[in-house]
Chains A and B, each alone.
Chain A
Amino acid sequence: DTAVSQTPKYLVTQMGNDKSIKCEQNLGHDTMYWYKQDSKKFLKIMFSYNNKELIINETVPNRFSPKSPDKAHLNLHINSLELGDSAVYFCASSQEGTGDSPLHFGNGTRLTVT
């Protein structure tokens, strides 16, 4: 009964391909996020959704398109993958914002673009 689960755990693909990462939370949280951890170990927010509505979009290339079919799911679709997209992508959720409502993270998806 994992709280925040994301699939797949590993994803290896070639440049130019399109891929998706799925995320589901069973915590009943209203807000979900995608974070990216790059090779320098920076964890940076990409998107946040609240009740299926996009709240934060941190100047991410429009090749990245999040989709939230309901408040328990936030998927990430990436078009025309590039070498620089290689990173670990973390899904997270929180009850309301991040100030005093800690994020609950999934275990990450390691994306390798060759």
Chain B
Amino acid sequence: DQQVKQNSPSLSVQEGRISILNCDYTNSMFDYFLWYKKYPAEGPTFLISISSIKDKNEDGRFTVFLNKSAKHLSLHIVPSQPGDSAVYFCAASTGTGTASKLTFGTGTRLQVTL
């Protein structure tokens, strides 16, 4: 019962180009969506989030788009840099306050080439 899906296990993009990472979800009760970035042998680090009442959130080179009717979100990185090479996890949250919990996708490995 995988409620958050990242169907592309890997993505390769040239430096300077746009990286687009996709995520689909099935649970309409999710009210917050987050992207985490993970380097090898480290824990995931928070990147950007979006509330279900919005359709776009931007932070520097990173923009997250949410399409609630399609139950789809995407992370755009532009321009892509070699340091962006990592595994990106999409996550979705239900519940409020201390009872809320995150459901993660299985990640997409982004490789930014020179």
Are chains A and B native binding partners rather than an unrelated pairing?
Answer: yes
Interface residues of chain A, those whose CB is within 8 Å of chain B, are 4, 30-31, 40-45, 48, 50, 55-56, 58, 90, 92, 96-100, 102-108
Of A30, A42, A44, A103, which is within 8 A of B98 by CB?
Answer: A30
- Which chain B positions have C-beta within 8 A of A44? 104
- Total contacting residues, chain B, CB less than 8 A: 26
A96 touches B98 (CB 8 A): yes
Of B46, B89, B96, which is within 8 A of A102 by CB?
Answer: B46
Nearest-CB residue, chain B, relative to A90: B43
B96 touches A107 (CB 8 A): no
Q: For the complex, give the distance between the alpha carbons of A58 and B104 in Å.
A: 14
Q: For the complex, give the distance between the alpha carbons of A42 and B28 in Å.
A: 20
A98 touches B43 (CB 8 A): no
A98 touches B93 (CB 8 A): yes
Q: How far is the CB of B106 from chain A (nearest CB, A)?
A: 5
Of B2, B98, B101, which is within 8 A of A45 by CB?
Answer: B101
Of B44, B51, B95, B104, which is within 8 A of A97 by CB?
Answer: B95
Of A30, A40, A48, A96, which is within 8 A of B101 by CB?
Answer: A48
- Which chain B positions have C-beta within 8 A of A104? 45-46
Of B36, B96, B104, which is within 8 A of A99 by CB?
Answer: B96
- Which chain B positions have C-beta within 8 A of A92? 43
A102 touches B34 (CB 8 A): yes
A4 touches B98 (CB 8 A): no
Known: A99-B31, A100-B49, A104-B46. A56 touches B101 (CB 8 A): yes
